[in-house]
Structure 1
Amino acid sequence: MGHQLLEKSTGVEQIGICTPGAVDPSKGIMKNSNTICLIGKPLQKDLEREFDLPVAMENDANCFALAEVIFGAAKGYGVVFGVIMGTGVGGGIIINSNIHQGPNHIAGEWGHHVLYPDGRDCYCGNKGCTESYISGTALEKEWYELTGENHIVTDIIDNGLYKSHPEWKDKFILNYGRALSNIIDIIDPDCIVLGGGLSKVDMLYSEGKDAVYSEVLSDHVLTPILKNQLGDSAGVFGAALLMENGQ
C-alpha cells in the first residue's frame, strides 16, 4: 500500500510516521511500544530502505500534541501536555511549538508512572502502571471481570451500563484524577489536551476534571483540560509537521 500511495503522489521527499513507542536514540530500534511486535525492531531504518526516502518517525502522543498545538485545541498555549487515552496511555510535551523528547526520548510517558506498587502486571515489566488501570483495554478487562460482559468503554458510559456497578466508574475517575494530577504537579503545563478513544468520554471534562483538581498541590488550579479538535486525524497532521518543522 505504501508503494501504491507513493506512485500516486508527486514530489514526495520525505515520509513522516507516528507510532506507538519511540526510537531508541542510541540503538535506532523501537522501544516502549504497546504494539509489542515493534519492540527491538529497526523500524525507521527498515522503512527508509524499503521506500528509499528519509523517514521522520515520532511517538504518536508527541505527534498528536504537536498537531493540536499548531492546528487544534491547544493553539496559543506555550507549554502543553497532550494525553492519549485509548488502547494504551501515552503523553507528549510541547514547549513553544516544539516536541520535548528528553535525552532518553521518553518525555511524557505518564502511562508508566506507577499508581499501585505491586499492582497489575504491565507489558513494560513493571507493576501497577497507569496504563494498566485507565487505558481502554484495562477498563474493558475490568468490566468483563466484574460482569462477564464484553463492552467498549464508551458504550459502558454513554449507555449508562456503569450505573449497575458504580464502583467501576468511581475507580476509573479516581485513578484518572490521581494520574493526571501528577502531571500538573510535575510539569504545571499551560493546558492539557486529551486525545484517543477515551477523550470522547464527556465525564472526563466534568467530574473527571474535578478529581484531577482535587489531587493537585494547589488550592486554585488554573490548568484547562481540553478536548481535542482534530480527532483521529491529529496523528497524521503531526507526522506531516515533523518534516515541516524539522522536529
Structure 2
Amino acid sequence: MATQRTRTRLFRRLRIGIDLGGTKIELVALDESGNVLRRRRRPTPQGDYLATIRVVTELVAAAEDDLGGRGSVGIGIPGTESVAAGHIKNANSTCLIGRPLRDDLQRLLQREVRLANDANCFALSEAIDGAGRGAEVVFGVILGTGVGGGIVVNQRVLTGVNRIAGEWGHNPLPSAEEEGLPPPACYCGRSGCVETWLSGPALSLDHWRHHGESLTAEAVGARAGAGDLAANASLQRYERRLAKALAQVINILDPDVIVLGGGLSNLERLYRSVPMLWTAHVFSDEVRTRLLPNVHGDSSGVRGAAWLWDEA
C-alpha cells in the first residue's frame, strides 16, 4: 500500500519536458522542486515528421515506465503554432511546417500537450529557477545560429494574441544606417532584421566583410580574448548593435532581467560592455535592468518545456 501511495504522489507531481530540436530530441522529467529524475536524448529523424513524433512518444513512454507514473507533457519547438490553422509555422525543422503537431501528439500520448517556442521555454526556465528567479518580468534572449526571444511575467509565458510575443529577432536593428553597410537579407523575406546583425553567422560575416578573414563566431571571441585587434573591433561592433537592439526591448517591455542564451552568451565581456552602451538609447535617466548569463545552459529549453505545466 505504501508503494502505491508513493507512485500516486509521483503521478501527480511528475512533469515531462521535450526539446524538439533540429538535431536531437531531448526529454527531461522533473519532480515538483525541479529536480531532474530522468534525462534522455535521441537523434532527430531528419526530414521525417512521422518518425519524429514517434521518437517523442517513445521517449515519454520509456520515462513513465521507468518512473512508475504518467506525467504532464510540455514540448519546446523551433517554431510557432498558426493562430488560424493550429499547424506549425516558421520552424527551422521544416518537416514540422504545416503539420498539426499538437493534435497528433495529444492523440498518440492520450492527454493534453502544451507547446511553446523554444525561446519561450528558455525564458521560462530561467525565470523560474535560473538567472531571473524572483524577477517579475524576464526577457530571455537566444543568440546562436538564429536570434529569438521570450517574455515571462510572474513566471508565466506571454505568448500574445498572435502568438509572436518576444519575436525580437525579426524587428529591424535601430539606427541601422550608422552601420555603414547595406542591411543584410533575412530568410524571413525582409532585410536588416536584428537576427541578420546579431546571430553567430552574422558575427562571422561581419568579421569577414571588415577584415577579410573567415572565422566562426567562437573563433572571433577567442581571438579577441587573446588580444587580436581585428577580432576585438568586430566584437565592439557586435556589442554596439546588441546594446541598441536590447535598449529597444527595455523601452517597450522594461524588464527586470534580460537573460542571454545560445553560443554567444558565453562571451563574458557582453555583460560588462552592453549595459554601459545601452544607457544612451534607453528612455530613462537610470537603467536598472540587469543583463545576466543563463544558469541552466543547454538544459534551459527542455526544463522550460517541463515547467509549462507549472504556470496555472
TM-score by length of 1: 0.89
The answer to whether structure 1 residue 177 and structure 2 residue 231 are counterparts is no
Question: CA offset at residue 47 of structure 1?
Answer: 3.2
Question: CA offset at residue 200 of structure 1?
Answer: 0.8
Letter in 2 for 1:203: R
State the structure with bigger RCO (CA 8 A, min sep 6), 1 or 2: 1
The answer to whether structure 1 residue 103 and structure 2 residue 161 are counterparts is yes
Change (3 A) 1:230 1:165: closer
Change (3 A) 1:80 1:3: closer
Contact 2:195-2:202 at 8 Å conserved across structures: yes
TM-score by length of 2: 0.72
* Secondary structure of 1:9 counterpart: helix
The answer to whether structure 1 residue 21 and structure 2 residue 79 are counterparts is yes
Q: Greater CA radius of gyration, 1 or 2?
A: 2
The CA RMSD over aligned residues, in Å, is: 2.2
Pick from 234, 243, 247: which aligns with 2:309? 243
Pick from 185, 188, 208: which aligns with 2:274? 208
Structure 1 Cα separation of the partners of residues 232 and 298 of structure 2: 30
* Alpha-carbon displacement from aligned partner over 1:23-49 (angstroms, at most 9, x marks no partner): 122211222334455433333334334
Of 18-27 and 122-131, the range deviating more from structure 2? 18-27
Change (3 A) 1:97 1:40: same
Change (3 A) 1:121 1:41: farther
Change (3 A) 1:227 1:166: closer
Contact 2:81-2:87 at 8 Å conserved across structures: yes
Change (3 A) 1:93 1:7: closer
Letter in 2 for 1:147: G
Structure 1 Cα separation of the partners of residues 296 and 63 of structure 2: 24
Of 128-137 and 51-60, the range deviating more from structure 2? 51-60
Of 81-90 and 207-216, the range deviating more from structure 2? 207-216
Question: CA offset at residue 51 of structure 1?
Answer: 4.4
Instruction: Considering fraction of residues, name the structure with more strand.
Output: 2
Contact 1:21-1:34 at 8 Å conserved across structures: yes
Question: CA offset at residue 13 of structure 1?
Answer: 4.2
Contact 1:61-1:82 at 8 Å conserved across structures: yes
Contact 2:79-2:88 at 8 Å conserved across structures: yes
Name the residue aligned to 1:82.
140
Name the residue aligned to 1:187.
253
Question: CA offset at residue 144 of structure 1?
Answer: 4.1
Pick from 115, 121, 126: which aligns with 1:68? 126
Question: CA offset at residue 187 of structure 1?
Answer: 0.9
For this pair of structures, how many residues does the alignment match?
245
* Secondary structure of 1:206 counterpart: helix
Question: CA offset at residue 50 of structure 1?
Answer: 4.7
Name the residue aligned to 1:217.
283
Letter in 1 for 2:125: A
Letter in 1 for 2:199: S
Question: CA offset at residue 53 of structure 1?
Answer: 4.4
The answer to whether structure 1 residue 149 and structure 2 residue 217 are counterparts is no
Q: Gapped runs of 5+ residues in structure 1?
A: none
Change (3 A) 1:42 1:137: farther
The answer to whether structure 1 residue 230 and structure 2 residue 288 are counterparts is no
Contact 1:29-1:43 at 8 Å conserved across structures: yes
Change (3 A) 1:164 1:74: same
Identity of aligned residues (%): 42
Pick from 9, 22, 31: which aligns with 2:63? 9
Letter in 1 for 2:289: T
